[in-house]
Amino acid sequence: MASLARTLSLRAFWALTRSTLPAPPPRATRAFSASARVYVTKFTKDHEWVTHDPSVSNIATIGITTYAANALGDVVFVELPDAGTDVSAGDAFGAVESVKSASDIMSPVSGEVVEANVALKDKPALINRSPEDEGWIVKVKVGEGREAEFDELLGREEYEAFVKGEEH
**pLDDT tens digit sequence for 104-134:** 999 999 999 999 999 999 999 999 999 999 9
The yes-or-no verdict on residue 147 having pLDDT over 90 is no
pLDDT band at 88, cuts 50/70/90?
Answer: very high
* Residues 6+ away with beta carbon under 8 Å from 70: 128
Instruction: Find all residues with CB under 8 Å of 2, minimum gap 6, and list them.
Output: none
Give the dihedral sign, CA 58/35/131/66. Answer: negative
Cα end-to-end distance, the chain, whole Å: 79
Mean pLDDT of the chain: 82
Question: Is pLDDT above 70 for 37?
Answer: no
Per-residue confidence band for 49, with pLDDT thresholds at 50, 70 and 90: very high
Position 77 pLDDT exceeds 60: yes
Average pLDDT over residues 53-77: 90
Domains of the chain, each with CATH number or no CATH: 46-152 (2.40.50.100)
- Rounded to 5 degrees, φ, ψ at 164 are -60, -40
The C-alpha atoms of residue 168 and residue 160 are separated, in whole angstroms, by: 13
**pLDDT reported for residue 109:** 94
Q: Which stretch of 3-12, 52-61, 68-77 has the lowest confidence by average pLDDT?
A: 3-12
pTM of the shown model:
0.75
